[in-house]
Amino acid sequence: MVEAAAQMKNRYERIVRPLLFSLDPETAHRLTINSLRGASHFDSALRVLKIFQPPSKPKTLFGLTFPNPIGLAAGLDKNGVALPAWAALGFGFVEIGTVTAKAQPGNPGPRIFRLPKQRALINRLGFNNDGADAIAERLRKLRESGRWPAIPVGINIGKSKATPLVEAADDYLYSLRLLHDFADYITLNVSSPNTPGLRDLQEPTALSALLHAIRNNSGGATKPVLIKISPDLLPAELEGILNVCAENGVAGLIATNTTLDHSSVPRELDEEGGLSGPPLREKATALIRDIVAKSAIPVIASGGICDAESAREKFQAGAQLIQLYTGLIYRGPRLLREIMEMM
């Protein structure tokens, strides 16, 4: 199986990636997700995907057992359409979303841009998703079908663009109530740079109010609640977030979202939006070190993980788990085994 996975790695980087990269980024994304969605319905297709599975190395965190510490970051499967396929590929957990209370198309296109020399992406998608009602119904049907994956599933929720910031808590609560029973953990996304004003929810007073509402909602938030934070925080801003999270029993932090620091991007290639991939690596790692030095709250690392070395760096900085996004697009699913083989 290891030899087969290595051959598939070569095919991905020599054949599949060039084909996908011949398409515009969003078309390539839709093609990939639709293919994995189709595979999720057929046992024979899932068996093929399993050749990529890395060796098991269980990790327990938030009271959950993860078969391995590598997860799929939110953003790749926004609508939760391919959960069985992600599990078959060997992810130790998967986070769907960002889901909003209201279905929304996101920002106008084009809105995803590749930076191949840097193995990076810029996106300004803007939480395009089917909305909490439709996604909850999809997850209900998946559970009833018996194909629910045997790995933890996180659900990342955010504020609808049309909802005023002062009503943000009600918006998050709407999604939480619908999706709570399908999630092993809930992530509150307060850090995407592509929804106007969203990062204001990282301000301590606003974050405290949101967490208070989540903790005291009528349905009872019994699942671990995590916060996904920006890599662009100043030290004082991070300290305020850590204090609020500790006071409100936040189970973990996801560090980080995409960055608005485009200083590494050639001017002629720059676009508005959040930057991900290797240009984010150093900033994300530094933030993880800062969190670990100041807090006992567990950290999931996301940002700039493109090979075994960058994954090791995150663990050495103090991360308990990691998540892949841009690295997966450039390297393919063999990246999971590469990371696990160095652990």
Is residue 295 part of the annotated active site? The answer reads no
Residue pair 108/167 in contact (Cβ under 8 Å)? The answer is no
Q: Which of 191, 192, 230, 310 is catalytic?
A: 192
Strands (E), 100-208: 112-115, 120-123, 153-157, 185-189
Inter-CA distances, 92 with 17, 66, 194, Å: 24, 5, 28
Q: What angle in degrees, to the nearest 10, is found between the helix axes of 204-215 and 168-179?
A: 40
Nearest Cα neighbor of 299 from 62, 8, 17 is 62
Strand (E) or helix (H) holding 145: helix 132-145
DSSP code, position 180: G
Tokens of residue 65, six digits: 């057992």
Tokens of residue 334, six digits: 């063999």
Nearest Cα neighbor of 192 from 319, 308, 97, 80 is 97
Nearest Cα neighbor of 304 from 276, 331, 270 is 276
Give the active site residues. Answer: 192
